[in-house]
Structure 1
């Protein structure tokens, strides 16, 4: 899930190991739905993640 200055965003339930493909799907679908719902532009956001060593991907976009 995510949160914005407006409120919480869409949640995504992960039923298997998270890999780069699933992570990208979450960003493409649920994260973008959150931005659209709150009428936020991607150029206006600051993207942060927790840097979990189990979830480091060399390339997403």
Structure 2
């Protein structure tokens, strides 16, 4: 998150809104929780995708 803010700190998308380039600790924590939830959902969906394509253990393959 720090790298993203640093990289985008001078962009017009952030510089046109006072304070957006230095968000509060609570705001950063909320964003990190959202990112973690999205990452978890992505990981679970990828895992489910691979599990659907994997034969059960001990199952005969033809």
**Could you tell me the TM-score, scaled by structure 1's length?**
0.33
Tell which has more relative contact order, 1 or 2 (C-alpha 8 A, sep 6+). 1
Say which structure is richer in helix: 2
Please give the TM-score of this superposition, normalised by the length of structure 2. 0.32
